[in-house]
Amino acid sequence: MQAVTSASSRIDAKRRAVLDPRKRQFAKSEWIDPDYEHRLNFYQTPPTKDISLEDFEEWAIARLKVLSELEACSFRNRTTEETSEYMRPVLEKWLRLDSNKSRSGELNAQRKKDHYSHWTLRLAFAGTGELRQRFAKLETQLFKLRLQSDYDDEKRDFIKGLKMSWEMVGSEEKATLLKDLKAATGFSQSRGDEEAWFKVDWESVPDLVSQRQVLLKRGKAYVHVREQLTMVQNAFTHSLDSGLELAARFLPRMDEDNRLAPILHHLGQSFVAPEANYSESNSLGDLAKVTAGDIDGMSKHFPLCMQNLHRELRKNSHLKHFGRLQYTLFLKGIGLSLQECQIFWRKAFKLIADDKFNSEYLYNIRHSYGDVGGDANKRGRGYTPFSCQKLLTEALPGPGQSHGCPYRSYTPDNLMTLLQAVGVNDREVLRGVKEDVGRQRYHIACNRVFEAAHKVELKKAKDESLLPSSNFDTILHPNEYFKRSFVLRNLGMVKKGDIGIDGPSQESASQ
Partner 1 sequence: MPHAISPTSSPPEPVMDDTIMSNAPAQPLEDEVPLEPHSDAAMLDAEPSTVDTSSGKLEDIFDDDSDNDEFSSSVPTTVDSSQPALAPAAQEKSAFTDLSILKQFYQRLLPFRALFQWLNHSASPCADFQHREFAFTLQSDVYVRYQSFASADLFRKACVNTTPLRFEIGPQYTINPRDRKTVLKAGSFRPVMKELVFDIDMTDYDPIRTCCTGAKICHKCWQFIIMAIKVVDVALREDFGFQHVLWVYSGRRGAHAWVSDKRARTMDDAKRRAIANYLVLKQDEKKGIRRPLHPHLDRSLDLLNPHFTKDVLSVQDPWATAEQASKLLDLLPDKVLTTALQKKWDSAPNRSSAQKWADIDSVAENGNLSTMSPKQLVDTRQDIRLEYTYPRLDAEVSKKLNHLLKSPFVIHPGTGRVCVPIDVRRLEDFDPFAVPTVTQLLQEIDTWDAEARRQEMSEEEKSKVEDWQKTRLKPYVEYFRGYVAALLKDESRVKRERDEEAGAESMEF
Give binding residues for [4Fe-4S] cluster as ranges: 305, 388, 405, 446
How far CA 442 is from CA of 17, 248, 407, 446, in Å, comes to 48, 27, 6, 6
Q: Which stretch binds partner 1 (CB under 8 A): 119-127, 159-167, 203-211, 422-430?
A: 203-211
Q: What CA–CA distances, in Å, run from 45 to 62, 261, 386, 450?
A: 21, 22, 40, 43
Instruction: Return the residue of 209, 235, 288, 372 that touches partner 1, per CB under 8 A.
Output: 209
Output the CA–CA distances (angstroms, integers) from residue 225 to 38, 194, 214, in the order listed. 21, 8, 11
507 binds partner 1 (CB under 8 A): no
The answer to whether 11 contacts partner 1 (rule: CB under 8 A) is: no
CA atoms within 13 A on the CB side of 447: 19
User: Least separation, in Å, of the C-beta of 163 and partner 1?
Assistant: 20
Minimum Å distance from CB 233 to partner 1?
Answer: 17
Partners of 197 in the β-ladder: 224
The CA-based angle 321-324-330, given to 5 degrees, is 145
Assign 3-state DSSP to the chain and report helix, strand, coil percentages, each to 5: 60, 5, 40
User: Closest separation between CB of residue 188 and partner 1, Å?
Assistant: 10
User: Should residue 182 be labelled a site residue for partner 1 when binding is judged by CB under 8 A?
Assistant: yes
Do 281 and 501 meet the contact criterion of CB atoms below 8 Å apart? no
Q: Which of 12, 37, 207, 360 binds partner 1 (CB under 8 A)?
A: 207
Q: Which residues 214-233 are close enough to bind partner 1 by CB under 8 A?
A: 215-220
Size of the site for partner 1 (CB under 8 A): 19
| The total number of residues written for the chain in this structure | 511
**Applying CB under 8 A, does 197 fall inside the site for partner 1?**
no
For residue 129, state whether it binds partner 1 (rule: CB under 8 A). no
- Tally of CB atoms within 10 A around 357: 16
- Torsion, Cα of 342, 345, 351, 357 (10° steps): -40
Contact residue for partner 1 among 90, 145, 184, 446 (CB under 8 A): 184
Among 25, 210, 258, 279, binds partner 1 (CB under 8 A): 210
Q: Which CB sits closer to partner 1, 70 or 184? A: 184
Between 202 and 442, name the residue whose CB sits nearer to partner 1. 202
206 binds partner 1 (CB under 8 A): yes
d(CA 343, CA 369): 14
Least distance (Å) between residue 215 CB and partner 1: 6
CB of 209 to partner 1, least distance (A): 5
Please state the closest distance from residue 217 (CB atom) to partner 1, in A: 7
- Helix orientation angle between 129-148 and 53-75, rounded to the nearest 10 degrees: 80
Applying CB under 8 A, the residues found at the interface with partner 1 are 180, 182-184, 186, 202-203, 206-207, 209-212, 215-220
